[in-house]
Amino acid sequence: MAASKLAGAAAGAGCGAGLVAALLHWREGLRQGLDAERRGPRPMRGGGELALVDGSPTSEAALQWAARHLHRRGEALHLATVCHPTPAVLDTGTGGAGFQVAEDIRRENANMAEAAQEYMKRARALAEAEGVDPGDVRTEVLVADRGGHISVGQKVAQEVESLRVGTVVVGSRGHGSWQRAALAVVGLGSLSEWLVHNLDCNVVIVKQGLEPGEGGPGGAPAAAAPQE
């Protein structure tokens, strides 16, 4: 009932369907966050660590921090990046001529997925350069249903639940090179706060510009938020 009232109010104010959908999506994310707070703390879990990367210096610093300070030999270090495909048909608002050809979009999505997979090779190399055994490194390209940090956060939450990881490490802001090139950007900055409030595990946020592992203010994460 409340959702329909929200949609009706937005429509009455002259808002487009896209904005109405965004408002409803935001409301759902807020509801999930409140539900998580009501549930209270849950037992700690194990299962290694998950570092979210997107090609940005911050995300790679977060990966290095996880490798240096959290990873234990024999445990899995999961590395994941998140992207979302362009819909099969995209209406640009100019009528029939504004529709992109479905085959072209499929090709763009394939190029995006290939770029993501190529970047994950670099992410793996970074982890191994920090001394992580190659057999401990797991890489994954996650595909969100749509753009926006809530949808991406939900995809990450599914991965966390599936892997049963104990800690997620993320940079404070994102937009790395491969994602900018692919035009499928989901920045990690907008995602980090959502993860802190919604994941049932520890979340560590590493700030941009810090040198992890060197001690002092630059050797610690920007925030360590235990979500038990």
Q: What is the pLDDT of residues 69-96, one digit of tens each?
A: 989 888 999 999 988 777 766 555 555 5
Quickly state the pLDDT bin for 216 (edges 50, 70, 90): very low
Report how far apart, in Å, the C-alpha atoms of 40 and of each of 33, 35, 37, 43, 227 are: 11, 9, 5, 10, 9
Full-prediction pTM beyond 0.75? no
Contact 169, 52 (CB under 8 A): yes
The torsion angle over the Cα atoms of residues 5, 147, 201 and 192, rounded to 10 degrees, is -100
Distance between CA atoms of residues 98 and 36, nearest Å: 42
Contact 168, 202 (CB under 8 A): yes
pLDDT of 29 reads 66
Compute the average pLDDT of residues 10-29.
Answer: 60
Distance between CA atoms of residues 129 and 213, nearest Å: 14
Between 206 and 6, the more confident residue is 206
Q: For domain 43-225, which architecture applies?
A: 3-Layer(aba) Sandwich (3.40)
Q: What is the pLDDT of residues 148-191, one digit of tens each?
A: 788 889 999 999 999 999 999 998 765 444 444 443 344 444 78
Quickly state the pLDDT bin for 147 (edges 50, 70, 90): confident
Other CB atoms within 10 A of residue 212 CB:
22
